[in-house]
Amino acid sequence: MDLAPILTYLFLTFLFSFFISSLLLSRMSIKHINIQMEKDGVYPPSWDRGIGASASFYVFAMLFSKYRIKNTLFDARFVAKHARPIDRVIAAVHFISVTGMIICLCIITLFKSFY
């Protein structure tokens, strides 16, 4: 049985869900969280100039409670405080799709070296 077509379709599925979740995360979730943080007097990271570099930090702050304590780049406690349930779902889909793409690419690269 050839795994290449299965892995290709799986990779494309993860890629599509990554694009959709990235768009929703940046346009809906991060925008909402930043507005709520500004109301509390905490401003978004100054090092993120709108290119979406803080998206992965927001995802980790929403999903993993241990990450909120050790983060020195910005106050991650406010990210988790203002995240809605739909924001956490979008963050989880984003995290799973990125992880799935990386795993698929590693497996494809490994099998490609055998042939």
What is the spatial distance between Cα 87 and Cα 111, in angstroms, rounded to a whole number?
36
Q: pTM value?
A: 0.85
Range(s) of the domain holding residue 37? 4-43+50-114
Return the sign of the alpha-carbon dihedral for residues 11, 14, 20, 24: negative
Domain count, the chain: 1
Cβ(57)–Cβ(25) below 8 Å: no
Average pLDDT of 94-102? 96
pLDDT of 103 > 80? The answer is yes
